[in-house]
Amino acid sequence: MLRQRIALCLQYDGSAFQGWQRQPRHTSVQQTLEEAILQLDPAASPRVIAAGRTDSGVHAAAQVVHFDAMGPIPPLRWPKALNGRLPSTIRVRAAAAVADDWHACFSARYRRYRYTLHNGRTPNLFLAPWSWHRYQVRLEERSMAACLESLLGEHDFSAFQRAGSRRAHAITTVQEVALERQGDLLVVEIQASGFLYGMVRLIMGQLVAVGEGRLPPAEFVSRWRRRARDEVREAAPPQGLCLLRVGYPEPIFPEALWYDGQPRFLLESSDPPPPPPGADGS
């Protein structure tokens, strides 16, 4: 048999799974994908390696994984073959043959996450599975953007690491950040060489506190620079978070299938905006 390393680009609806990693008593993306691969290639490697381990409820627009195939299926036929055996909550977008020493996690140069906030007063059923609805006040995005920019560079982000992490240290490099408002939606993107366990959701919890006027921007910066994990108590819920893409030194997949796989919602303000923090004189 000829062993061939296959890289896959896949999307999944995180609300259907207890995260990426295989677990003994819960349904995971890893287990579901591994079982589908083994149906097609019983001699394939029993383990699929991902670029990042998304938490329970977190979505992926272009997760990248690899496994070692042993059967005759050509690389370009893997997406169609797998999609016929996977639940509708997982879709394989592309596949490619890679070198035997290529690694979905260790070969990656960056991971990029997107978090979507719904900042309108009126609930929207179709936004609910993919965003965090914060309607009490209109978020002050300029302060939030300034706090985001303070994260750029290589730092110790212990303040934004959930308990239970197995990492030896909390140092990583935030490469790019972006915040954009479109009507009632705020979209935050963070790109880094790697992410700590729960890092983006803890950052977003603090950013929303800044945007609502409950946390001064200077205190946001002070907390993470002092590594004050005990003061970071709010974490954003998982449904607004999506692993947008993973980058490598050389392109693996066509850009149209990999680069920006989560469609953006277009939403104008649905009603008079809530006042910014302190506008009522309080």
Residues 215 and 123 in one domain: yes
Q: Are residues 198 and 245 in the same domain?
A: yes
The pLDDT, as a whole number, for residue 277 is 59
Q: Which of 98, 128, 161 delimits the end of a domain? A: 98
77 shares a domain with 180: no
C-alpha to C-alpha distance for 38 and 51, rounded to whole angstroms: 20
Q: Tell whether 32 is covered by a domain.
A: yes
Q: Is residue 104 part of a domain?
A: no
Q: Is residue 231 part of a domain?
A: yes
> In this predicted model, what pLDDT tens digit does every residue of 102-154 receive, in sequence order?
999 999 999 999 999 999 999 999 999 999 999 999 999 999 999 999 999 99
In a domain, 76, yes or no: yes
pLDDT at 163: 78
Residue 125 domain boundaries: 110-249
Residue 158 sits in the same domain as residue 219: yes
Residue 33 shares a structural domain with residue 157: no
User: The domain that contains 58 carries what CATH number?
Assistant: 3.30.70.580
Q: Which two tokens stand for residue 136?
A: 């009490």
For the chain, which residues score pLDDT lower than 70? 1, 164-165, 270-282
Question: CA geometry: angle at 238 spanning 234 and 243, to 5°?
Answer: 120
In 3D space, the residue among 180, 128, 142, 139 whose CA is nearest the CA of residue 279 turns out to be: 139
Judge whether 147 lies within some domain.
yes
CA 250 → CA 93, 109, 235, 255, distances in Å?
18, 10, 34, 12
Catalytic residues: 55
Domain match, 11 and 57 both: yes
Per-residue confidence (pLDDT) for residue 282, from 0 to 100: 46
117 and 239 belong to one structural domain: yes
In angstroms, the CA 188 to CA 206 distance is 13
Q: What pLDDT score was predicted for residue 186?
A: 97
pTM across the whole model: 0.93
What pLDDT sits at residue 181?
Answer: 96
Residue 274 lies in a domain: no
Distance between CA 174 and CA 157 in Å, rounded?
A: 10
The H or E element containing residue 230 is: none
pLDDT at 165: 67
Q: What's the pLDDT score for residue 189?
A: 98
- Nearest alpha-carbon partner for 75 in 98, 96, 89: 96
Q: Are residues 84 and 117 in the same domain?
A: no
CATH code of the domain containing 134:
3.30.70.660
Return the SS3 of 220.
Answer: helix
Under 8 Å between Cβ of 96 and 82? no
| Total domains, the chain | 2
**Structural domain contains residue 13:** yes
Is 244 part of a structural domain of the chain? Answer: yes
Distances in Å between the Cα of 16 and the Cα atoms of 57, 89, 236 are 7, 7, 18
